[in-house]
Chains A and B, each alone.
Chain A
């Protein structure tokens, strides 16, 4: 199975700043089938980005995804107060099982 490694583990930033989150895969993610989710305590994860760079329905354009192969990035251009959460990457491109990264916590 593909192992996803996210960095950094924690990102301490202020509202208005730019956040850059990384996700590395142990081997190529087929067809760049890589997604990013936002997860807040007590809530279900929320799909932000799929196919590495396509925003899901209703996601603000301050969220953007990039990358291919084994290296992927989620960028939040200007942090809003509601953006402080844990972010996970997930691959769904190779044969199952789909796998997730260990998460990056974006905190104030």
Chain B
């Protein structure tokens, strides 16, 4: 059974960089699309972007200038980097595997942007 485990700091200072990692267990990271999604309090879910391990990456245009996604195949994990964060980036961040839609989700990480 494929499971996703998220890690990363829950508190980031304004203007700094948010970095989260999603580790895949029970299956290979290859041959699937992997996405990051977030949800700010009281807001709808927002798709941040996705990548395919062979190198194809697509970001939400609203965040594209500040986002980078990367993969470490040897560790079966992938990462999200969001630069120059502000309070508006405070949200629960999820990683997910995309097969038929977003089929498997990580548990979520609350990231608060505050000094």
| Chain B 29-63 interface 0/1 with A at a Cβ cutoff of 8 Å (1 = within) | 00000010000000011110110000000111110
For the complex, give the distance between the alpha carbons of A54 and B101 in Å.
Answer: 11
Interface size on A, residues (CB 8 A): 24
* Listed residue (B50, B58, B105) with the most chain A CB atoms within 10 angstroms of its CB: B105
Residues of B within 8 A of A101 (CB): 44
Across-interface contacts of A92 in B (CB, < 8 A): 98, 101-102
Given contacts A44-B94, A96-B60, contact A56 B44 (CB under 8 A): no
Contacts of A90 in B (CB 8 A): 45, 47, 101-102
Interface CB pairs A-B, < 8 A, 12: A1-B61, A35-B102, A43-B107, A43-B108, A45-B45, A51-B100, A54-B100, A96-B49, A98-B35, A100-B44, A100-B47, A103-B44
Binding site for B on A (CB under 8 A): 1, 33, 35, 37, 43-47, 50-51, 54, 56, 88, 90, 92, 96-103
**Leading 3 A-B pairs by shortest Cβ distance:** A35-B101, A44-B105, A50-B100
**Chain B residues close to A by CB (< 8 Å):** 35, 44-47, 49-50, 58-62, 94, 98, 100-103, 105-108
